Structure 1
Amino acid sequence: MTDKSAVPETLTPEQQQALEQQREIWVREQFQKANRFLAEKGIIPGKVLVDQSRYLAPYVAVWKMETAKPAKKTYWVISGDLPTDVVEVGAAANPREVLRHFSLNWQLKAENLIRSGAVRDKTQAKFANLLISRAQSLYLMQNDEALWA
């Protein structure tokens, strides 16, 4: 997935520069969000494999990250306008498959919340609806050939 942020040709160079700065800020914020999430899970990030990471500002960022030594592991981390989540690299071969993985995983999590009756709690109901909505969006993104050209 490449960053296909639409920049109309009618923008002035100053406006284009401002949009680019906003995109860079968003990417930096998502990187920090991904690092915080990993740290909260007890995973200490070592480095980002930038050439294998992708983002579509302001919607989703997919980071491929290696942990610090001594026990080097590699993870996919997703962040953006959706729940931040992580999975070991073996779950998906590339960022496109990562979107598919989280789409299916979140649909299953939402279904489990619904079947368990947890959605009687307003917070859990809201979370289940968020998972369903974002899972559908991720599925559409991973299925959109134009994003992966």
Structure 2
Amino acid sequence: MTSNNQQQPQAFTEDQINEWVRQQFQKANLHLAEQGIVMDNVAVQESRYLPPYVAVWKINALNRQGYWAISGDLPTDYLEASGAIDAREALRAFSLRWQMKAQQLMNAGVQDQTTADYIQLLISRAHSLYDLFESENLWG
């Protein structure tokens, strides 16, 4: 699965990119299945990926609902397709969601190092996603 408007790091071979994309698709699909969402198909033209950082999948589920799923070097997550009009807006939506989640966890009081590490991961990846959202050269 490739798309001619994806950015690809030069250090990756085409086989490595294809393997990374396949792994991220499986990761996103498993996450959706764990949430009770069974995928019907992927809207390939609307999905985007930037190996080895992030993949954003536009998923059509058997329940006739649409979803954006995200995977990569970040927490795997999903949101309803109505939450973003395209992959770029989906990145912003995930960024804002993770910032709010991190704030909620901080407000609840950090009880252990695992939670503190998770909060830092959410904040870091939320900022990275927002930077990708704002990067005009990625979106043409």
Same fold (TM over 0.5): yes
| Structure exhibiting the larger radius of gyration computed from Cα positions | 1
User: Does the alignment pair 1:57 with 2:60?
Assistant: no
- 4+ residue stretches of structure 1 with deviation over 2 A? none
State whether residues 55 and 70 of structure 2, in contact with CA within 8 Å, keep that contact through their aligned partners in structure 1: yes
| 1:122 Cα deviation after fit | 1.2
Q: Could you tell me how far apart the structure 1 residues matched to 2:52 and 2:123 are? A: 19
User: Does the alignment pair 1:140 with 2:131?
Assistant: yes
Give the length in aligned residue pairs: 137
Q: Could you tell me how far apart the structure 1 residues matched to 2:133 and 2:49 are? A: 12
Identity of aligned residues (%): 51
Q: Secondary structure at the match of 2:56?
A: strand
| 1:89 Cα deviation after fit | 0.4
Q: Secondary structure at the match of 1:120?
A: coil
Query: Structure 2 length normalisation: TM-score?
Result: 0.94
User: Does the alignment pair 1:5 with 2:8?
Assistant: yes
Match of 2:84 among 92, 108, 116: 92
Residue-by-residue CA offset, 1:44-103 (whole Å, 9 max, x unaligned): 1110010110000110000001112xx311100000000000100000000000000011
State whether residues 66 and 74 of structure 1, in contact with CA within 8 Å, keep that contact through their aligned partners in structure 2: yes
Q: Secondary structure at the match of 2:9?
A: coil
What stretches of structure 1 of length at least 5 have no aligned partner? 9-17
| Residue identity matched to 1:64 | K
Task: Give the alignment's Cα RMSD to 1 decimal.
Answer: 1.4
Where does residue 71 of structure 2 map in the other structure?
Answer: 79
| Residue identity matched to 2:127 | Q
Where does residue 120 of structure 2 map in the other structure?
Answer: 129
